[in-house]
Amino acid sequence: MGTDLHQIRNFVDGAFVDGPTTFEKVSPVDGSVAADVHLADSFIVDRAVQAARRALNSGWGATTVPERVALLRRVTDGIEARFEDFVEAEVRDTGKPATLARQLDVGRAVVNFRQFADTVSSEGLDSFLTELPDGRKALNYAVAKPLGVLAIVVPWNLPLLLLTWKVAPALACGNAVIVKPSEETPSTATLLAKVMADAGAPAGVYNVVHGFGASSAGEFLTTHPDIDGVTFTGESSTGSTIMRAVAPRVRPVSFELGGKNAAVVFADADLDATIEGLGRSVFTNTGQVCLCTERIYVQRPVFDSIAEGLAGFAKNLVLGDPHQESTTTGPLISQAHRAKVSSYLDLAVEAGAEVLVGGGIPDLGANLNGGAWIEPTLWAGLDNTARVVREEVFGPVAAIVPFDSEEEAVRLANDTDYGLASAVWTTNLQRGHRVAQQMRVGMSWVNTWYLRDLRSPFGGVGLSGIGREGGRHSLAFYTEPTNVCVQL
């Protein structure tokens, strides 16, 4: 069975395909083997690309918007019908609490398909009546065509959410896709293949290849000469590698990359609301969200109150069995990632940090100690010169740094090579607007975090990415406009 979550296969040209070898997917909860994953070699990747090209050329690329919308709505129904299967697959792969997977990951997957069905249904294109000085007149109008065969490479932190955030608009625009999920989270992309097939997606429109990055499925896919574009969410260094891969063929890319996001807390902020908001922005999904806050700049009069309140928030988090309703916080994705995050815990201490809470590996008992658990951690006593304040950790950690003036806060927040998101906490809305607009980021919140309208632009600047996703911004990447000029 292709959707047996203990045997995870590739999906090519409408059928599940064994790989020449398999690799073990290890549970981050307890270290047990969760599944055997079939590795896609270069031959399987090539088959997937050619299947996508055939599907595109044999009619899928010429389907009407209503036909594509109907498919997206059937896929939405299919995800809802297997909602708990998707929840279980996400929990098995990531170890995140089932309550979080249910609300955030699978819930958003449903919304993503529904949202892009609505967006493509209502989207129009430019048209102009042109009158030239010599008296000639012309009608100019644009026709949107699919970009083509697309490589979709998605990360392990929000695997289904970010997968559907790309697949839904790609299919809405008539493209055919090859998905390469992270080797850490292969299950939901494979389960979605079954839903796609049941919804009537033509063979080759949606393909899944499993494997790693360099010298594996990721490299085979992004360097394939018949790929028309690549969309990727993940580490900035991987984005650079993909850019080099597609540069000789000048293929378009859409990247949402890393972040070292700042929160700025002014003395007039609502402290209770701010502490609750910061708690979510630092610790949600064990800090493994690109939008999570890792730098907190607090105006000096309320520094101690914020530090104390946020440390209390961290102490109240419950690490444990992801299926327990009381569990708030899961493990990191893998032992390798825990080793990386742990190295930053050591670096912080070496740099003279005061550890306000956490700072180590918890003892959760024999049943869980084989997992990739780590303590939620807060530091004080650091500044912007420390590596842990400059480099993305991607864990449940944050440094709290004092400031005095608004100008200083803006300077500190913008002192980074990243530029994904920020949050400003103040009851002075004039200041909120003023400071938020000065943040060198793609998204800037005021008195909230992770509040999203899916039609708004999503993406970053600097090392945080290229391009924007969301609503019509996504459609712009997944389509190729052709202008038609007719002399009247």
Exposed, middle or buried: residue 216 (CB in 10 Å: 0-12, 13-18, 19+)?
buried
How many other C-beta atoms are found inside a 10 Å radius of the C-beta of residue 212?
A: 14
Beta-strand relationship, 261-265 and 293-299? parallel
The SS3 of residue 238 is helix
Where helices occur in 11-106 by DSSP H, the ranges are 42-57, 65-81, 83-94, 98-100
- Cα separation, 126 vs 23, whole angstroms: 49
Query: Has 256 been annotated as catalytic?
Result: yes
Q: Dihedral sign for Cα 88, 90, 95, 98, please.
A: negative
User: Which of 290, 292, 294, 392 is labelled catalytic?
Assistant: 290
- Cα separation, 267 vs 483, whole angstroms: 53
Residue for token digits 């279980």? 88
User: Which of 184, 256, 294, 392 is labelled catalytic?
Assistant: 256
Q: DSSP string spanning 401-441?
A: EEE-SHHHHHHHHT-SS--SEEEEE-S-HHHHHHHHHHS-S
Q: Which amino acid is at 418?
A: Y
- Cα separation, 453 vs 455, whole angstroms: 5
How many other C-beta atoms are found inside a 10 Å radius of the C-beta of residue 140?
A: 13
What residues are labeled active site?
Answer: 256, 290
